[in-house]
């Protein structure tokens, strides 16, 4: 029971540590976070009334801040960058089979204006984060659906 309490307390401290900068960033744009998600050293949030998304990512001591106005976005999609590694193990008897290795997962916000570049929010990068995936793909897919549902309501 004590372990559960300690884990829950640490989770709330981490949530508070990440949520304060996100709330502050949103307030600068006259927004209020309605829904958010924390993973690794990152946080994403949305203001459902103002239709804006905010992302903060911390790598080492450097933080990057992103502000996305969904009214300017045509659609959202998940981008998976990876490669296939072939297995050639004689001990197991497997030869010629391939395993997909994911190197990067991003949420891509496609602009209505083709002259503007698409915006990306990184959910996983093996070069700058954990070597193992811990639900980042599912999280990116979840937020892609949240964003696309919101975009549909804006443009209908």
Residue 147 tokens, joined: 């964003």
Which pLDDT does position 7 carry in this prediction? 63
The pTM (predicted TM-score) of the whole model is 0.82
User: Mind listing the pLDDT tens digit of every residue in the chain (156 residues)?
Assistant: 676 666 666 666 667 777 899 999 999 999 999 999 999 889 999 999 999 999 999 888 888 999 999 999 999 999 999 888 876 655 555 556 777 888 999 999 999 999 999 999 999 998 887 777 889 999 999 999 999 999 999 987
How far apart CA 121 and CA 54 sit, in angstroms, is 10
Q: What is the pLDDT at residue 131? A: 73
Enumerate domains of the chain plus CATH numbers: 2-154 (2.30.29)
What's the rounded Cα separation, in Å, for the pair 116 and 110? 9
Pairing verdict, β 119-125 and 94-111: antiparallel
Locus of tokens 């976070």: 33
pLDDT score of 5: 62
Helix (H, G, I), strand (E, B) or coil at 85: strand
**Residue 71 DSSP SS3:** helix
How high is the pLDDT of residue 64?
Answer: 93
3-class SS of residue 105: strand
Say if CB 109 and CB 73 are below 8 A apart: yes
In this structure, the chain runs to a length of 156
């Amino acid at each position: 029971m004590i372990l559960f309490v300690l884990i829950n307390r640490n989770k709330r401290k981490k949530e508070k540590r990440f949520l304060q900068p996100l709330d502050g960033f949103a307030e600068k744009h006259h927004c209020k976070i309605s829904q958010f998600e924390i993973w690794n050293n990152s946080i994403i949030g949305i203001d459902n009334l103002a239709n804006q998304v905010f992302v903060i990512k911390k790598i080492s001591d450097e933080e990057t801040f992103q502000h996305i106005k969904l009214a300017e976005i045509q659609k959202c999609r998940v981008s998976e960058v990876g490669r296939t590694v072939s297995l050639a193990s004689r001990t197991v008897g497997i030869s010629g089979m391939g395993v997909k290795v994911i190197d990067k997962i991003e949420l891509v916000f496609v602009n209505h204006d083709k002259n503007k570049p698409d915006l990306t929010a990184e959910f996983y990068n093996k070069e700058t984060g954990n070597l193992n995936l811990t639900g980042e793909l599912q999280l990116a897919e979840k937020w892609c659906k949240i964003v696309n549902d919101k975009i549909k309501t804006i443009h209908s």
